[in-house]
Chain A
């Protein structure tokens, strides 16, 4: 009797939890605040500044969504998540949205029951070595010691890469990026491997960056993007199209500076539809017609965000590469706003 009562309560709780997660938009509006899971700290992507304000490439997605939904980019509560806690935090409803340089993989999308709404950064795993090692290709790393962060996809990619190329390596397990840098600089390993964006950021702050090279091989596909829970398609649509709006804005030349002016009407119907001057795309996702305009005004378009947080003018100095618009030879290609 007692057991069945307990199970009944449990079932009721689960059902209630299901109902609650079915209307994330209503929850966010009622709360007046978006709860966004971010990295505890990754250079360029998510980091609090000296005043405790979160900044970065992934943080911009949170801000854009908050601006689109709530009309205020500052109404975000940032929940720092670790590699261990990020998925549970999202699945349990502690956060509405996870924007934490998370690789879109089959099992995370299906088995863990998340919806990746898009890709905001195409990354890939690379190697950094000291120049005096005399290595110019990752294929010459046979027998090398490699510093590798444990428990990440990079560890598995590394094993695959060396196996495919019939080479051996000696892993030096490390826990965090900072520890990896320290081990690598201390000479505990010949090569340091992590995502190419991370390598660039790491090399940029070395005392002697000219003595280190990043090898040309990229051994994995790491499409990083924001994700939400399964089962709330409206919320997924909102996040997906907010991200798409930022990317499309760059394609159509809409910036945070001219969005106000362009929203008065242009001769490009695509821009007009996106900014709400024509049609009512906003109501289709449960928002008002100015949603995209607010998002772009709050953070700038994709290109502006990229340039401000990780682009070539910042110390990290990442080139656009794969993350250029499709018209510039990159992979960014949004479906039409129609």
Chain B
């Protein structure tokens, strides 16, 4: 057979043929389209339908965007300009309302000459959380902080309110990050006091004595623990600051202010509005609800009956009522019970309610994380001889929190968006409060979509950043081998 073959086929190819290009239907765009958009008759129909819908939407809204007017004094002027440029009957977006009223959307009724303070407070906030956001990577933290500092510089300079001290302070923080990164955590711990002081202003001694309360608590713990044991120490560490804040702090702040009058112009809560309000409530709520949620989650899994009952009762009560109910309680019901003349700040009341609300949800998310840990982890911690808190801190929590990241961040995003509900207690949130206030002026009555789009876009940027960060964190902490 082989001999026959050798005779009938004397030619043997000794070079490879150049490869043919794949058939047109199996390569490039066509292949992608066939596989992804037109792989069967159902998908083909759906694709065509999808394109038709997109085309309709574009046809409807594109002219509206293209006919945008940025420079006008009122909605009727906008309409006149659009008519003049694009003919009668043309519709267009009137972004002039944003151009004229953007400070109100961002700052509410915060005094215009003090806009640098919320900007600085926001910049400092990002700088303060920089080391926490990027614990794993020193370089990432440094570039993040430098970027934020630069943006803060630019924003404050753009406002034309160059406060040299503020700029020097920001620069100093960047220097700390570069040369002694761990020290920046001290600023992170102090940030709540700094942020409060920048936003509300007033005597510098109020935040100072408030922080002093924590120092006193720590001192009390250090003094009493050697003599009385850790339980007595812990009780003292709680009681001493509480007494300090309740009775002595106000007097001390007043006395210090009398001796060394230091302070900046005070801004009252009713001047807060827009994104300054939303971020104040949102960030404080996020900052305080996470530790509270952790404690509640641990309490709910505790073996101690009283602790467990209290935590379960709290979580189930808070999760059982709508947030608006809590807000109404904070704003209206509390007034009947507080002694008359008590000036319990409405923003503070709302922050407390939002924090409690969010803490209950976060507690359940974290409990899910705790439940997902194998029993072996707890037993291993016990076998190593760690006490309860050490086991939680070193073994349980790092794993449970890592599992819970998506849920926690979802809660945070939800909380931040829920801050718009404060309109129902008469606070001017950016979405409806400020929008309605702006529309209540005759110039801008009738500007319907533009403010919503503007506010929605800012919300989207903030929430999307949070979501992306959570994904980054998940990738970073991934330990499984899949």
Residues of chain A having any CB pair with chain B under 8 Å: 10, 13, 16-17, 19-21, 27, 39-44, 46-52, 77-82, 84-85, 88-89, 92-94, 176, 178, 181-182, 201-202, 204-207, 314-316
Contacts and interface: CB of A to CB of B under 8 A. Distances in A.
A42 to B, nearest CB: 6
Interface stretch (B120-128, B203-211, B223-231, B334-342): B334-342
Given A16-B340, A17-B336, A40-B440, 10 more contacts: A13-B339, A27-B341, A40-B423, A40-B437, A52-B271, A79-B270, A82-B424, A92-B335, A202-B445, A315-B442
B426 interface: yes
18 contacts: A10-B337, A13-B339, A21-B340, A40-B436, A41-B436, A41-B439, A48-B104, A48-B441, A52-B108, A80-B427, A80-B433, A84-B328, A88-B332, A89-B331, A92-B336, A93-B340, A94-B335, A205-B76
A48 B437 contact: yes
Interface in B222-271: 268, 270-271
A21 B436 CA distance: 32
B426 A77 contact: no
A82 B332 CA distance: 12
A85 B425 CA distance: 6
Given A47-B437, A50-B100, A94-B335, A314 B79 contact: no
A181 B446 contact: yes
B104 A52 contact: yes
A20 B448 contact: no
B274 to A, nearest CB: 11
B101 interface: yes
B437 A41 contact: yes
Closest 9 CB pairs of A and B: A41-B440, A52-B109, A47-B440, A20-B340, A92-B335, A88-B332, A41-B437, A205-B446, A41-B436
Interface of B: 75-76, 79, 100-101, 104, 108-109, 112, 268, 270-271, 328, 331-332, 335-341, 423-428, 432-433, 435-442, 445-446, 448
Contacts of B341: 20, 27
B434 to A, nearest CB: 9
Residue among B76, B336, B340 with the highest chain A CB neighbour number at 10 A: B340
A206 B445 CA distance: 9
A47 B441 contact: yes
A314 B423 CA distance: 29
A47 B339 CA distance: 32
B428 A80 contact: yes
A178 B448 contact: yes
A10 B338 CA distance: 9
Contacts of A201: 442, 445
Contacts of B332: 85, 88-89, 92, 94
Given A20-B340, A92-B336, A181 B448 contact: yes
Contacts of B437: 40-41, 47-48, 80
B440 A42 contact: yes
Contacts of A178: 435-436, 439, 445, 448
A51 B337 CA distance: 36
B340 A182 contact: no
Contact of A85 (B109, B331, B440, B448): B331
A51 B341 CA distance: 30
Contacts of A41: 436-440
Contacts of A10: 337
Contacts of A47: 437, 440-441
A16 B339 CA distance: 7
Nearest to A53: B109
Contact of B442 (A46, A78, A314): A314
A82 B426 contact: yes
A88 B445 CA distance: 29
Contacts of A43: 439-442, 445
Contacts of A176: 432, 436
A178 B435 CA distance: 10
Nearest to B324: A84
A47 B79 CA distance: 23
B14 to A, nearest CB: 78
Contact of B79 (A92, A182, A207): A207
Residue among B112, B339, B441 with the highest chain A CB neighbour number at 10 A: B441
A206 B446 contact: yes
Nearest to B432: A176
Contacts of B270: 77-79
Contacts of A51: 112
A80 B75 CA distance: 24
A206 B442 CA distance: 11
A38 to B, nearest CB: 10
